[in-house]
Amino acid sequence: MAFRDKGLLKRALTHRSYAYEHSLEPEETNERLELLGDAVLDLIISEYLFLRHRELSEGELTKIRAHLVNMNTLAELAREIGLGPHILLSRDERADGGEEKPSILADALEALIGALYLDRGLDVARKVVLRLFRNRIEGALSGSLDFDFKSRLQEMVVKEKGILPRYRIEEEGPDHQKVFHATVYVGNSRVGKGSGRSKKEAEQEAARAALENPSWRGGKTSRNKERKAKEGG
């Protein structure tokens, strides 16, 4: 999709590290566009689900939207369209793998959507967003609507291990753009990691990773084994 305002496109791709390195003004970064793009994206996805799937309850609509509009899904989409190499980063940030960082990719994609909305209007933005998200929307609708990975993981761990999973949270970035990183443990084993723009999102992503990781499964914890051995003896 061609932009009429090339300056708007450049701003959507300008990370704050690049702006700092080149002594640009704060408004020349993609941060304000990212905020707008987030709102536009929420509107388009919510409108599509609301109008096309009247059978869905408010709770189901909320779950599906949260499953679709989050940092990790946006980063995956950004990778699919090859956005990373086009993001303007400082030399240090690029050397540190910035063009592959989920938070940077997700912010840039949202900024791009915000810029597209300003440049070409809501109808064009809607067509582009739905083209990007269509397969994921249909995938979410055709599968289980249970996207509460934390609850599923907890139920499984309690059943198989007799203990609760534990989460450790780390955070980075300024207050208005924090990224949270969650690590989930089963016993002393680290079984999943995830990131998000909130603690809840990061924990859900860590739990989803754990559910896809079979290494921790199989047998009870050593404490339960000892207890059963004593009971059997």
Tell me if residue 123 falls in helix, strand or coil.
Answer: helix
Q: Which amino acid is at 175?
A: D
Q: Which one is catalytic: 34, 107, 110, 119?
A: 110
Contact 3, 91 (CB under 8 A): no
Whether residue 38 lies in the annotated active site = yes
The Cα-based distances of 80 to 4, 76, 132, 214 in angstroms read 24, 6, 10, 27
Contact 4, 119 (CB under 8 A): yes
Give dist(CA 55, CA 38) in Å, integer.
Answer: 26
Burial class, 175, CB count within 10 angstroms (exposed 0-12 / middle 13-18 / buried 19+)? exposed
Tell me if residue 82 falls in helix, strand or coil.
Answer: coil
Tell me if residue 52 falls in helix, strand or coil.
Answer: helix
Q: Which one is catalytic: 31, 34, 38, 93?
A: 38
Alpha-carbon torsion angle 191, 196, 200, 201, nearest 10: -80
CA 167 to chain centre: 18
Give dist(CA 149, CA 69) in Å, integer.
Answer: 16
What amino acid positions are annotated as catalytic residues? 38, 110
